Amino acid sequence: MRLKKIFLILFLLVGIQAYSQDFDIAKWIQPVPGTAKFTLKDYMVWCGSMVKGDDGKYYLFYSRWPRTSGHYAWATESEVALAVSDNPTGPYSHVKVILEKRDKKYWDADVTHNPTVYKFGKKYYLYYMGTKGTEKFSQMVTMKDAGWWEYRNNQRIGIAVASSPLGPWLRSDKPAIDTTYTSFDHQLVSNPAVTKRGDGKYQMIYKGVSQGKMPFGGKVLHGIAIADQPEGPFKKLPNRIFVKAGVQFAAEDPYVWYQNRKYWAIVKDMSGAFTNAGTSLALFESKDGINDWKPSKNVLVTTTKIPWATGVKQVTKLERPQLWLDKGIPKVLFCAVYDDSDNYNVAIPLKFIKK
C-alpha cells in the first residue's frame, strides 16, 4: 500500500510538471541552413505543411501560383502541390500538383490554398481553403480589382483524404466548414488547423469574417469546431478565441497541437497586439482547448527575422506557421515568407528545451 502511494505521488508530480510547463519557442529556434529555403523559378510558394511518410521521406504540401501574377494571386490562382525531401529541413523538390482546378459546379473549382496535413491512424488528411470566382486576370493581380474580392469572399474549408502522401487524394464535394449567416463567420471561412484532442475527438480552429462594410467585411475572428472523426462532420462551438479588445483583425494563420496535457497554438499576430513586437508569431495555450485560450507566458515565437546560418535576414512577411512534430515534439517550424516581391517557404529547425 505504501509503495502504491509513492507511485501515485510521483505520477501526480510528473503530471503537474507537464501540465504547467512553460514553452519558450523563441529559444528553441536554431540557425537555418540554406537547404531550408524552398522556392520555384516560375511560381510563388506559400503555406508549407509537412508530414513524414511511411517510406521515411518528408512530404511538403504547399500552395503555388504563377510568379508573373504577383503576390495577391494567392486568392485567384493558387493550387496545392507536393514536394519531397530526404531531410525535414530540405532541400525539397517539387513532385506534382495535388489539388487541381476542377468543374465550376464545385465550391473549390478555381483555387486551393492553406494546406495543413496530418496523419491520423493509417490515413493522411489534408485540410485546405478553396474558392472560386468569375473574373479571369491577364496581368498582375491586386486587391484593387473588384473581381479579386469575389474570390476572397468565397473562401470555404475542405478536406482531402489519402492512404499515401502521393495520393490519390479524395477531396470533399462540399465544404467541411461553411459560413453561418447569423454568426462571426457570416462572410468567409479559411485557415483551418486541426489536432487530435486528449479525449480522442478532433478539434479544428479556423478563421472567419463577420458581416460588415464590403468588400472586406467585419471583424476577423477565430472559431472552434469538434468532430468524432478526422474527416468530420465538424460541429461549430460558440467560442471565439485569439481576441483582443478594440482590434478588428488581431490574428490569423493558427497552428494548433496537443502536448504535455495542454493545447498550444501559434498564430500570426497581425500588428503586435499580443507580443508588443509588431507583426510577429505568437504562442497561445489552453487547458481544455476550448474555453480558456490565452497568450502564453513566453508569447513571442519570432519576429519577421530569419536566423540563417549565414546571418540574420529581415523579411517583409513571415507567416502561415506550421509545425512538424516528431513523436509529439516540435522539431521544425515551417513559415511562408514574402521578401522583396518574392514568395518562398522556410523550414526553421527547433531544439525542444524541456524545463
- Residue 3 has a pLDDT of 52
Using CA atoms in the order 122, 128, 132, 135, what is the torsion angle rounded to 10 degrees? -130
What's the angle, vertex CA 339, arms to CA 86 and CA 62, rounded to 5?
Answer: 40
Query: Can you tell me the distance from the alpha carbon of 261 to that of 20, in angstroms, rounded to the nearest whole number?
Result: 9
Mean pLDDT by 10 residues, the chain (355 residues): 48 41 94 98 97 98 96 97 98 98 97 98 98 90 92 98 98 97 96 98 98 95 98 98 97 97 98 98 98 97 98 97 97 96 94 83
Strand pairing of 58-66 and 280-286?
unpaired
- Residue 5 has a pLDDT of 53
Residue 48's nearest CA partner among 98, 116, 121 is: 116
CA-based Rg of the chain, rounded to a whole angstrom? 20
Does residue 162 come out as left (phi exceeding 0), alpha (psi in the -120 to 50 range) or beta? beta
Other CB atoms within 10 A of residue 9 CB: 10
- DSSP line for 166-199: T---EE-SS-SB---TTSTTSSEEEEEEEEE-TT
Query: Can you tell me the distance from the alpha carbon of 116 to that of 137, in angstroms, rounded to the nearest whole number?
Result: 27
3-state helix/strand/coil string of 215-247: CCCCCEEEEEEEECCCCCCCEECCCCECCCCCC
- Residue 86 has a pLDDT of 98
Q: Which residue has the cell 523550414?
A: 347
Query: Can you tell me the distance from the alpha carbon of 101 to that of 163, in angstroms, rounded to the nearest whole number?
Result: 22
Query: Can you tell me the distance from the alpha carbon of 107 to that of 171, in angstroms, rounded to the nearest whole number?
Result: 11
What single-letter DSSP state applies at residue 55?
A: T
- Residue 178 has a pLDDT of 98
Cβ contact 165:95 at 8 Å:
no
Give yes or no for a cis peptide into 168 (omega within 30° of 0): yes
- List Cα–Cα distances, 320 to 113, 121, 191, in angstroms: 11, 25, 9
